[in-house]
Amino acid sequence: MDDKELQNRFQAQVDAEIKIEPKDWMPDAYRKTLIRQMSQHAHSEIVGMLPEGNWVTRAPTLKRKAILLAKIQDEGGHGLYLYSAAETLGISREEMIEALHSGKAKYSSVFNYPTLNWADIGAIGWLVDGAAIMNQVALMRTSYGPYSRGMVRICKEESFHQRQGFDILYTLSRGSAEQKAMAQDALNRWWWPSIMMFGPHDSESTHSSQSMKWKIKRKSNDELRQDFIDATVPQAEVLGLSLPDPELKWNEERQHYDFGEINWEEFWSVVKGNGPCNRERLAARRKAYDEGAWVREAASAYAKKKKEQTIAG
């Protein structure tokens, strides 16, 4: 088959909702954009462990600490599923990590904000994991088989994360006036970064239209952002907290909430590496990688020895 025929057969497979698997023919640009998105997704999970890790030693009770530890370990696991799924596209984990450390690959802008008090852990679980679920439920139907299957498991775990975050804020918002103020302060700081997670407006999104055609993305950035806001406003009402957007209002005609404009200058500044914690986050990842070199060496030496023994005997 010539290239045109291969392209047509590929698109027909996508249109028929038949998953693309690692050994199937795929356009180079499909492979490239999947590697870009999946590796960035994996990096987000791993870098996302850092803001929460900051509170493990200061969790208010043993139970909260155990829950937080489990959640952070889940995020590490998600990163590993995603790196493995991306490796099926012909890139190595080393190459992906090198791209993160050199600043070539991105990770979600939201993890470049600091966690200043315990309520931030609630806000991350409720809002950041909540936004991630909205995006990832759509990605369960993504056209690439290994990504789609990874997402099914990830989403199950993210639901627990979102629930634990809501529970922290629910407890604080029914506590003392000081605790309620902490919850409100965390919500004020995390709301806008959370809705920025969905990326630029559709009209500004470089990859959306092609990714939607290839069914890598099943919903656009703006559609997902709207779904998230519509789902989250009633939850804020249950908490008795107010969302920091004076333009947030139910629109009867649209049957959706209207909301204010995102500060895009801030968004792009954070994406380009100038957020409050970008440098700290990358430095922490590089340090962890360097300090883990001996583990990788030991593990690969063991694997090599095992292989030699199998061949010999």
- Residues in the site for ligand BYC, rule: CB under 6 A? 36-37, 40-41, 44-45, 48, 75, 106, 108-109, 124, 128-129, 132, 135, 196-200, 205-208, 211, 217, 221, 271
Q: Please state, as a whole number, how many other Cβ atoms lie within 10 Å of the Cβ of residue 168.
A: 25
Q: Write down the least CB distance from residue 221 to ligand BYC, Å.
A: 5
Confirm if 71 and 125 have CB atoms less than 8 A apart.
yes
Residues 6+ apart with CB under 8 A from 196: 109, 110, 262, 266, 267, 270
Residue with smaller CB distance to ligand BYC, 180 or 225: 225
Determine the residue with CB nearest ligand BYC.
48
How far is it, in rounded angstroms, from Cα 281 to Cα 105? Answer: 14
DSSP letter, residue 249: E
For β-strands 256-258 and 249-251, DSSP reports them as antiparallel
Q: Write down the least CB distance from residue 114 to ligand BYC, Å.
A: 14
Residue with smaller CB distance to ligand BYC, 109 or 180: 109
Q: Write down the least CB distance from residue 130 to ligand BYC, Å.
A: 9
Q: Write down the least CB distance from residue 251 to ligand BYC, Å.
A: 24
Residue with smaller CB distance to ligand BYC, 173 or 278: 278
Residue with smaller CB distance to ligand BYC, 37 or 143: 37
SS3 state of residue 190: helix
Residue with smaller CB distance to ligand BYC, 37 or 148: 37
Q: Write down the least CB distance from residue 104 to ligand BYC, Å.
A: 9
Residue with smaller CB distance to ligand BYC, 30 or 180: 30
- Both tokens of residue 105? 């690959």
Q: Write down the least CB distance from residue 23 to ligand BYC, Å.
A: 24
Q: Write down the least CB distance from residue 30 to ligand BYC, Å.
A: 13
- Residue owning tokens 């936004």: 131
Q: Write down the least CB distance from residue 65 to ligand BYC, Å.
A: 16
Nearest to 118 by CA among 202, 185, 215: 185
- Residue 46 one-letter amino acid: I
Q: Please state, as a whole number, how many other Cβ atoms lie within 10 Å of the Cβ of residue 28.
A: 7
- Residue 21 one-letter amino acid: E
- 221-239 vs 145-173: helix crossing angle, rounded to 10: 30
How far is it, in rounded angstroms, from Cα 270 to Cα 285? Answer: 17
Q: Write down the least CB distance from residue 206 to ligand BYC, Å.
A: 4
What sections of 56-176 are H helices per DSSP? 62-87, 93-101, 118-123, 129-139, 145-173
How far is it, in rounded angstroms, from Cα 260 to Cα 95? Answer: 39
Residue with smaller CB distance to ligand BYC, 180 or 275: 275
- Both tokens of residue 198? 């969905």
Residue with smaller CB distance to ligand BYC, 112 or 173: 112
How far is it, in rounded angstroms, from Cα 121 to Cα 305? Answer: 43
Residue with smaller CB distance to ligand BYC, 138 or 248: 138
